Structure 1
Amino acid sequence: MKKPMSAATWGTSLAILLSIIQAPTSQAAPTLAQVQAQVIRYEEEATAAAEGAQEAKVKLNSLTRSLAGIQAQAEIQAKTVDAISKTLGAIAIDQYKSGTISQSLELLFSSDPSLYLSSAGSLEAITRQKGIQLRKFQSAEQQLNATSLTVSDRLAQVKALQKKLAEKSALATAKLAQAESVLAKLKKEDRERLARLAQEREDADQASSLKAARSAAGVSGRAGLAIKFAFKQIGDKYVFGADGMIYWDCSGLTMRAYQTAGVSLPHSSAAQSRMGKSIPFSQKKPGDLMFFGRPVSHVGIYLGGGKMVHAPRSGSRVKVATTDMGRKRLVAIRRF
């Protein structure tokens, strides 16, 4: 006959059973394909953030130029106010602002009416001239006040854009750091294998892109010149904020490509998407710019046949690729 289990033994057995039940299920390590997909996603997010920084930079440059012009205007207006002020004299301005009785009325009600009669003509002329000058002073002062308010408003906008630029730039850097962190967790041989696979993929893309460029023909005008320029950059590496002639980002490439065709574009995909002529998706032609993402964060040059030439993302090169950007949807087409 078996002896009943002691309380101590029972407690130990229960603890072991509970530890088995409550132990977390171990997760299988991600495959290299999954790691690669994760790294690419972080690189794409970094690229989107970098384009956001480019948009902020374009707006900031435009606003800074506008601010400089307004500040120069304010300086001119301040000198005008000062000049009129000196002409009038402090007493006349104080009288105008306080609304005190005019000199001619003071004379009219004085104890010596003959003084008014003898001086009325000259006083009227002086008063009229002073009135004109005072109205000029008031107008100039109002203009200066309005301009000063505009300057203050522009300064606030500049500060906000500087903050946005810093935030977007930091986000782009952080996303690349996340990609590096994912790779750092791999074994050395796995990192080397992924790097080799990425290199092989980029080399294959470059070879097919050069073949596509050689076979492309028949596009004339500005569109043809832009495409021809972009084709010459195939194989160049993507770098945040770069606009040639060795490194490119997406909007830097399209900006320079159309610059060779005599079209001036800003270095920002979002800013470019607001320029040119809007084209229905069904009517796109080679040379049209295709914009992706909401908000817009990527741009490429359409080639026809569902292909475009673009600078895709960090870690990649300028290439000919399909217009399918996966999660980043086509949102606009513009013609220049």
Structure 2
Amino acid sequence: MLLKVVSLSAMSLAKPLFIALAALAVAGPALIATPAHAAPSLEEVQAKVRQLEEDATTAAEGAQEAKVKLAILTKTLNGIKAKAEVQGASLSALQKSLGTIAVEQYKSGTLSQGLELLFSSDPTLYLSSAGALDAITRGKSAQLRKYQAAQQRLSATTLTVNDKLALVAAAQKKFAAQSALALSKLKEAELLLSKLKKEDRERLAKLAAAQEDADQASSLAAAAGANGVSGRAGIALKYALKQIGDRYVFGAAGLVTWDCSGLTMRAYQAAGVSLPHSSSAQSRMGKKVSLKALKPGDLLFFGRPISHVGIYLGGGRMVHAPRSGSRVKVTTDLNMGRKALVGARRY
């Protein structure tokens, strides 16, 4: 029985907490009076929160990669199971046909050794006498040869089913582990912020909201000037730019909330290109592009292992869904903290 898969899209993680997270990047050290003894400095809090935020996003994309792999394996497994059912039905029909032959031979007193072995209640006797049965099938019965071949095919298919079941279980385990890791990192960040004074958290939230408003204004201005891109790239880029202002949520793929790979997946789906919901999986598709030869519509990939993706807008800019607490926006910063730009693909 397959393990139950828990969807990341159900995680409603864009809470006021993460507005406070984003604000740490723009807050000044005067916000918190730090005693010399125990309390960490603002810079230390800022660095730790950003690290936790990046770790959570990395884990969430790892979960998405496992989810994509799980879907592929499950589809393959279902196909193999269907094949096994067909082979089993064929084997039963052959056995029934051979049973009719055995009855007729028994009535006439000419039941062959091969058929006696085939219908014996002792499997050990049957297996130990396989050589004798082979000799009979080679010389005497096309039906027996078909039956033996069908048995071999069904045995091979059964082994394949068992192998795929093990892979499915492993993918499910990874999905669950990565999902739990993403949540634990966010809870750790929440605990860190809870140690701040209430007035400091409120001020951080206001600063973050102001920064988001500024980002949205500049993003909409960039989108208004992004015309003239044709083909699939143009369609995908136009789709992504229409989502500016939508919230980031782990595992989301529209229509009003997104994660990074969910946004790029839907954008290229609008252009007729099928991509999986995983930045890592998307990085293995399409045509590799030099970072010195980027064109609008190319997908940009970040981190090792890859855990973020955005759509290149041109002029050193991209549109993307950054992280929890933020919204879909255009950025000129192609250095995602510890997640360096590592590659690009064209579809």
Q: Give the alignment of 1:251-266 within 5 angstroms.
A: 251-266=261-276
Give the match for residue 141 of structure 1.
151
Over residues 90-119 of structure 1, what are the superposed CA-to-partner deviations in whole Å (9 max), with x where a residue is unaligned?
Answer: 7644447526879xx9xxxxxxxxxxxxxx
Partner amino acid for 1:62?
Answer: I
Contact 2:138–2:145 (CA<8 Å) still a contact in 1? no
Q: Provide TM-score, normalisation by structure 1.
A: 0.81
Contact 1:58–1:267 (CA<8 Å) still a contact in 2? yes
Q: Does residue 247 of the first structure (1) align with residue 257 of the second (2)?
A: yes
Q: Distance in 2 between matches of 1:224 and 1:259?
A: 12
Distance 1:37 1:210, change over 3 A: farther
Distance 1:141 1:29, change over 3 A: same
Unaligned runs of at least 5 residues, structure 2: 1-34, 103-112, 119-125
What secondary structure, in the 3-state scheme, does the structure 2 residue paired with 1:158 have? helix
Contact 1:51–1:268 (CA<8 Å) still a contact in 2? yes
Q: Distance in 2 between matches of 1:253 and 1:202?
A: 19
Q: Distance in 2 between matches of 1:65 and 1:191?
A: 47
Q: Distance in 1 between matches of 2:117 and 2:66?
A: 50
Q: Distance in 1 between matches of 2:47 and 2:76?
A: 44
What secondary structure, in the 3-state scheme, does the structure 1 residue paired with 2:272 have? coil
What secondary structure, in the 3-state scheme, does the structure 2 residue paired with 1:281 have? coil
Distance 1:165 1:152, change over 3 A: same
Q: Distance in 1 between matches of 2:61 and 2:155?
A: 37
From 301, 317, 338, the counterpart of 1:327: 338
Give the match for residue 210 of structure 2.
200
Q: Distance in 1 between matches of 2:44 and 2:131?
A: 84
Q: Structure 1 residues 25-34 or 165-174, which shifts more? A: 25-34
Give the match for residue 305 of structure 1.
315
Q: Does residue 77 of the first structure (1) align with residue 118 of the second (2)?
A: no
Q: Distance in 2 between matches of 1:37 and 1:247?
A: 27
Distance 1:235 1:135, change over 3 A: same
Over residues 202-247 of structure 1, what are the superposed CA-to-partner deviations in whole Å (9 max), with x where a residue is unaligned?
Answer: 1111111111111222211111111111111111110000011110
Contact 1:239–1:314 (CA<8 Å) still a contact in 2? yes
Q: Does residue 176 of the first structure (1) align with residue 176 of the second (2)?
A: no
CA drift of 1:32 comes to 3.7
Q: Distance in 2 between matches of 1:48 and 1:285?
A: 26
From 326, 336, 342, the counterpart of 1:316: 326
What secondary structure, in the 3-state scheme, does the structure 1 residue paired with 2:158 have? helix
Contact 1:88–1:130 (CA<8 Å) still a contact in 2? no
What secondary structure, in the 3-state scheme, does the structure 2 residue paired with 1:152 have? helix
Contact 1:289–1:335 (CA<8 Å) still a contact in 2? yes
Give the match for residue 173 of structure 2.
163
Q: Distance in 2 between matches of 1:248 and 1:128?
A: 63
Q: Distance in 2 between matches of 1:60 and 1:295?
A: 19
Higher helix proportion: 1
Give the match for residue 236 of structure 1.
246
Contact 1:32–1:190 (CA<8 Å) still a contact in 2? no
Q: Give the alignment of 1:42-81 within 5 angstroms.
A: 42-81=52-91
Partner amino acid for 1:61?
Answer: A
Unaligned runs of at least 5 residues, structure 1: 1-24, 106-126
Distance 1:228 1:101, change over 3 A: closer
Distance 1:294 1:315, change over 3 A: same
Q: Does residue 268 of the first structure (1) align with residue 278 of the second (2)?
A: yes
What secondary structure, in the 3-state scheme, does the structure 2 residue paired with 1:262 have? coil
Contact 1:32–1:194 (CA<8 Å) still a contact in 2? no
RMSD (Å), alpha carbons: 2.1
Distance 1:226 1:204, change over 3 A: same
Partner amino acid for 2:55?
Answer: E
Partner amino acid for 2:340?
Answer: R
Over residues 289-313 of structure 1, what are the superposed CA-to-partner deviations in whole Å (9 max), with x where a residue is unaligned?
Answer: 0111111110000111211000011
Larger C-alpha radius of gyration, 1 or 2?
1
